[in-house]
Amino acid sequence: MALLNLIISLTVLVLTVEAAVNPRYYPRYHLAPECGWMNDPNGLSFYQGFYHLFYQYNPKSSLEPGIAHWGHARSRDLVNWEPLSIAMYPDENYDADGVFSGSAYIEDGLMYLYFTGNVNLDAVIYRNETQALAVSGDGFRFVKYPDNPLILGTEFQPNIRDPKVWKHEDTYYMVLGHSIEDKTGEIVLFTSKDKFQWNYEGVLAQSDGSLGYMFECPDLFELDGEAILLFSPQGVEPDGYKYRNLYQTGYLVGKFDYKTNKFIQEREFVELDHGHDFYATQTFEHEGRRILFAWMDMWDQNYPEGGDGFTGMMTLPRILTLTPEGHILQNPAEEVDNLSGDIVFSGNANPKTPIVLPDKSARIWIESSGTEDLELLLSATGTNTSTVSIKFDFGAGFVILDRGGNDGVRMAPWTPSNGEKLLWRVYVDASSIELFCGKGEATFSSRFFPTSDVAVSVVTGDVSKFEVKAIPRTLP
């Protein structure tokens, strides 16, 4: 008996040790997995009083995506997340190699989760991706539909995935990302009258070659009277300061005609964020707000957090609006700024010494004239040299973020709107930085990995307001 107890306690110890995550890079107020690997946000929704965020999840390892499950968390305020048990396992023959990305649709008190079932095949047709459904009546237990898959999509194999579903009048719509023979990315549309039987309607958008070989995570929604087609193309070549990441995320503005089921593109593809780590976005609407999350990471980076027991985090919840010129503005949901953290520093001139961020996490609020250069430096105080510099180049009209190392620079054209001051809101969280310029015209989301405390200072230029506010810790 004593031996049995010893074995049990040793097993518990081993499991606990395995599950422990080193907190040095672990976000304090962004959602990350308790341990293991996280990628794309899935199934964003508001259901029975809670926001729900599912995500691509490998509970077995933080070093590789493995076979995707759906991880799950819920929140009352989009910031404080309660981790819940795994929503979906790869336990059916049609999803044995991954319960891939998808979306939630809420109707008549039920939550419908549409997802891609992935099965790996051989070297020629290397995978089969079908679209499937799971239903929940309580937001905890999810039952896969017995007649899955709903869409076999034989003619679209092997890359057809990431269903995003919505309803308009009496019809349900589903967009899917597709690759024509691994060469051309496109978004295809299906419709349904009952949520179960789906018919192919045609192509909504297609790469002309310049937008790569595959479109992942498509999303179509209305924003201030325009239709926005948001997606993550793979295979876009770098072009000057644009498209510097392995894969991109961006949008087309146009009109969606519900009579012909056609998307009429009005503007060129625009990248949504200019940092290193922003991918696989999804949006949903609640109480008139269009809310977006992205995976704040990028494929194939091998960031050091993997060795610490977790990989991946979500961006802050962002509210989208559209300018009359058809440009998306992104701003953090007000819930983030409403968190009542201490003001660590506040002044109307450059701080005389670098300000150490509490627990490596804070919101830094900066204003300056906007008519001269400005450089802000976030530097690790210890021996670790991880620094991030953010510059406003007034002459060039660019914002430049440099996290050092190989391929450290990202930039985007931005100047304050006519006659306005420069305003930057910078959210730092242990291993991430999210910069919102002005009214949200340009954003940068990047990861960096300081092992010691982080201090912020103004290197060039003069600020007229400088505030560092702590953000309360909400580790699970």
Q: How far is the CB of 302 from ligand FRU (least distance, A)?
A: 16
- Binding of residue 162 to ligand FRU (CB under 6 A): yes
Closer residue to ligand FRU in complex, CB, 217/435: 217
Of 66 and 332, which has the nearer Cβ to ligand FRU? 66
- Closest to ligand FRU by CB, 136 vs 159, is 159
**Does position 55 bind ligand FRU by CB under 6 A?**
no
Cis ω before 149 (30° cut-off from 0)? yes
Residue 162 beta carbon to ligand FRU: minimum distance, rounded to whole angstroms: 5
Q: In this structure, how many other beta carbons lie within 10 angstroms of the beta carbon of residue 145?
A: 15
From 26, 31, 35, 39, residue interacting with ligand FRU (rule: CB under 6 A): 39
Tell me whether residue 57 or residue 172 sits nearer to ligand FRU (CB atom). Answer: 57
- Closer residue to ligand FRU (CB): 298 or 433: 298
Active-site position among 40, 162, 297, 359: 40
Write down the least CB distance from residue 401 to ligand FRU, Å.
23
Distance separating alpha carbons of residues 27 and 360, to the nearest angstrom: 9
Q: Select from 95, 186, 216, 305 the one that contacts ligand FRU (CB under 6 A).
A: 216
Choosing from 75, 101, 245, 415, the residue that interacts with ligand FRU (CB under 6 A) is 101
Give yes or no: 342 in active site.
Answer: no
What is the Cα–Cα distance from 21 to 16, expressed in whole angstroms? Answer: 10
In angstroms, give the least distance from the CB of 158 to ligand FRU. Answer: 12
Question: Quick check: 68 binds ligand FRU (CB under 6 A)?
Answer: yes
Q: Per rule CB under 6 A, is residue 282 in the interface with ligand FRU?
A: no
- 463 touches 295 (CB < 8 A): no
Min separation Cβ 468 and ligand FRU, Å: 34
Cis amide bond preceding 158, omega within 30? yes
Residue type at 164? K
Which residue is listed with tokens 């070659």? 209
CA dist 52 and 284 (Å) reads 11
Should residue 100 be labelled a site residue for ligand FRU when binding is judged by CB under 6 A? Answer: yes
Q: Is 59 in the site for ligand FRU (CB under 6 A)?
A: no
Q: Which is nearer to ligand FRU, 40 or 308 (CB)?
A: 40
Among 280, 292, 364, 401, binds ligand FRU (CB under 6 A): 280
Q: How far is the CB of 137 from ligand FRU (least distance, A)?
A: 25
C-beta closer to ligand FRU: residue 116 or 283: 116
Site membership for ligand FRU, residue 415 (CB under 6 A): no
Contacting residues for 125 by C-beta, under 8 A, at least 6 apart: 157, 158
Name the nearest CA neighbour of 349 among 468, 467, 464.
Answer: 464
Task: Determine if 65 is a binding residue for ligand FRU (CB under 6 A).
Answer: yes
Site mask for ligand FRU (CB under 6 A), range 106-135, x = bound? ----------x-------------------
Shortest distance, position 249 Cβ to ligand FRU, whole Å:
10
CB of 299 to ligand FRU, least distance (A): 7
Looking only at the bridges linking them, the beta strands covering 463-470 and 361-368 are antiparallel
- Count of residues that bind ligand FRU according to CB under 6 A: 14
161 counts as binding ligand FRU under rule CB under 6 A: yes
Q: Which residues bind ligand FRU (CB under 6 A)?
A: 39-40, 56, 65, 68, 100-101, 116, 161-162, 216-217, 279-280
Query: Catalytic residues, which ones?
Result: 40
